[in-house]
Chains A and B, each alone.
Chain A
Amino acid sequence: QPQLQESGPGLVKPSETLSLTCTVSGDSISNTINYWGWIRQPPGKGLEWIANINYSGNAYYSPSLKSRVTISVDTPKNQFSLKLSSVTAADTAVYYCARYNWNQGNSDYWGQGTLVTVSS
């Protein structure tokens, strides 16, 4: 079954860009029925959807974050990535990558999550 693993810096300075990568195993990013996405969870709070993307680069973004977010895919490496610019303390969260099953309308496989702290 698919496995997803987030990687990237755990500490980012305010105003800088947060960059995370999700490596997928057990499935192909090029699978045409799936999208791949990011969800975050501030400490002690609920879940917030950020964006989804498919193998061809067709992407959907949260309007509240769209001006600062870039999501991309690297099909040869079977990875997808998130960049969030101009971060503040409010962007401190556990960031999860997940596979989105388009037909079933759900994120059926999730990574373990990675905590990113924004602090100087």
Chain B
Amino acid sequence: DIVMTQSPLSLPVTPGEPASISCRSSQSLLHSNGFNYLVWYLQKPGQSPHLLIYLGSDRASGVPDRFSGSGSGTDFTLSISRVEAEDVGVYYCMQALQAPHTFGQGTKLEIK
């Protein structure tokens, strides 16, 4: 199985400040088609996870442009340019290159 490792696991952020989360995979997520099969989800308190970023850097429909994804191969980053109060929750990265799909441990973002 591909192991996904996120850091940090806890992220206190002041509103209006930037934030970033790192996700590393034990194997390259770069498919032969040129796409990285890396996804970012946000699970807000009491809700199902919802899709933020797919294929490493493509924003899902309706996701604010303050969210961006970058990276390739085994190292990926989710960046938030200016954190807002509604961004609190747990952020997960997931690899979809091969079964079983595997998730990172989650990063809990909280507002200072």
Given the known inter-chain contacts A46-B92, A61-B99, A62-B99, please indicate yes or no for A104 contacting B49, CB distance below 8 A.
no
Q: Number of A residues whose C-beta is below 8 Å from B?
A: 21
Interface secondary structure of B, over-half rule:
loop
A54 within 8 A of B: no
**In the complex, which of the residues A62, A105, A110 contacts B49, with contact meaning CB atoms closer than 8 Å?**
A110
Given the known inter-chain contacts A110-B48, A111-B48, please indicate yes or no for A62 contacting B100, CB distance below 8 A.
yes
A15 within 8 A of B: no
CB distance from A5 to the nearest CB of B (A): 11
Q: Is there contact, CB below 8 Å, between B103 and A48?
A: yes
Q: Is there contact, CB below 8 Å, between A108 and B51?
A: yes
- Other A-B pairs beyond A105-B55, A107-B39, 19, CB < 8 Å: A46-B106, A47-B41, A47-B43, A47-B92, A49-B101, A49-B103, A60-B99, A61-B99, A96-B49, A104-B55, A105-B35, A106-B54, A106-B60, A106-B94, A106-B96, A110-B48, A110-B49, A110-B50, A113-B48
